[in-house]
């Protein structure tokens, strides 16, 4: 396990603002909403791959919405949107799915997803570069909470080597039909306070060989898993790159 490889990403696409109508809103689980947008322009979102994301623009109700990125930037002195980053859960031709964890009004994106209806408009900018799983890895370790599930599901679809995937969710009702996932339940412990993720990984019999670790979720949980993998298992530092999707106590994704 001496080989170090930085996390690889594809070339950054030219950013673009997309203003598209919502086609459907589906409750995937009691606390997960899937927002589907549909528009001919979305066919230009080609080569959407693992952990590719966009910046969601959330404007105040009644605000005049921009049609281009230049238009949005020109209006920032009058109205500047709240922004949140979201992974593309699925892209198929002129349709894109986004999955939102619903946790009341504590986050602007969650509140928007709870009230949006077909016919409303969604504005986002992107996409980001795509994460490319390292082909030199012998196996992959994926870890996160429900906010990371769209990206983890995409990685599971893409890689063709052994994978161990651990996903923390509120309870059994929040599990989704994603093959290859070890589901971990908080069972009443608030998100951001549970240790079920690091406890499960610490107890796991993980494969030998050179790993690549992809993990995302609440900051403290990611740091706990990272510390275990570096200090207890001796994984190369460059193979373990946590991504903070949110922080306990802060309004966010």
Q: Are 175 and 169 in contact (CB under 8 A)?
A: yes
d(CA 156, CA 51): 11
Q: If you classify domain 131-246 with CATH, what class do you get?
A: alpha beta
| Of 149, 39, 46, residue with least CA distance to 100 | 149
Question: Tens digit of pLDDT per residue, the chain (253 long)?
Answer: 333 344 555 555 678 999 999 999 999 999 999 999 999 999 988 655 677 889 999 999 889 999 999 999 999 989 999 999 999 999 999 999 999 999 866 689 999 999 999 999 999 999 887 678 899 999 999 999 999 999 999 899 889 999 999 999 999 999 999 999 999 999 999 999 999 999 999 999 999 999 999 999 999 999 999 999 999 999 999 999 899 999 987 755 4
CA distances to 134, 139, 203, 232 from 9, rounded to whole Å, are 10, 18, 31, 28
What is the pTM (predicted TM-score) of this model? Answer: 0.88
- DSSP output for 52-116: -EEEEEEPPTTPPPPSSHHHHHHTTTT---EEEEEE--EEETTEEEEEEE-BTBSSHHHHHHHH-
Over the range 147-170, which residues count as b (16 or more CB within 10 Å of their CB) and which as e? bbbbbbbbbbeebeeebbbbbbbb
Give the 3-state secondary structure of residue 122: strand
Residue 232, classed as helix, strand or coil, is: helix
Domain 9-126: CATH class, spelled out: mainly beta
The tokens 């412990």 sit on which residue? Answer: 189
Domain residue ranges in the chain: 9-126, 131-246
- Cross-strand partners of 216: 144, 243
């Amino acid at each position: 396990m001496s080989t170090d490889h930085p996390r690889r990403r594809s070339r950054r696409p030219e950013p673009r603002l997309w203003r598209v109508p919502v086609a459907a809103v589906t409750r995937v689980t009691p606390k997960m909403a899937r927002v589907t947008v549909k528009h001919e322009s979305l066919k230009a979102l080609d080569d959407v791959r693992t952990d590719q994301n966009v910046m969601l623009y959330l404007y105040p109700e009644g605000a005049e919405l921009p049609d281009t990125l230049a238009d949005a930037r020109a209006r920032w002195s009058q109205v500047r949107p709240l922004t949140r980053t979201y992974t593309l859960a699925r892209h198929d031709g002129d349709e894109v799915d986004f999955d939102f964890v619903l946790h009341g009004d504590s986050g602007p994106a969650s509140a928007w997803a709870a009230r949006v209806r077909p016919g409303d408009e969604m504005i986002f900018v992107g996409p980001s570069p795509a994460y490319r799983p390292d082909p030199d890895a012998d196996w992959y370790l994926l870890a996160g909470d429900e906010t990371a599930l769209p990206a983890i599901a995409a990685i599971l679809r893409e890689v063709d080597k052994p994978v161990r995937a651990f996903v923390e969710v509120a309870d059994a009702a929040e599990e989704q039909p994603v093959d290859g996932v070890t589901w971990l339940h908080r069972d009443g412990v608030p998100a951001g306070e549970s240790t079920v993720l690091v406890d499960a990984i610490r107890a796991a019999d993980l494969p030998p060989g050179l790993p690549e670790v992809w993990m995302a979720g609440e900051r403290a949980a990611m740091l706990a898993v990272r510390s275990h993998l570096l200090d207890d298992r001796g994984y190369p530092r460059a193979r373990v790159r946590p991504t903070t999707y949110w922080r306990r106590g802060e309004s966010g994704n």
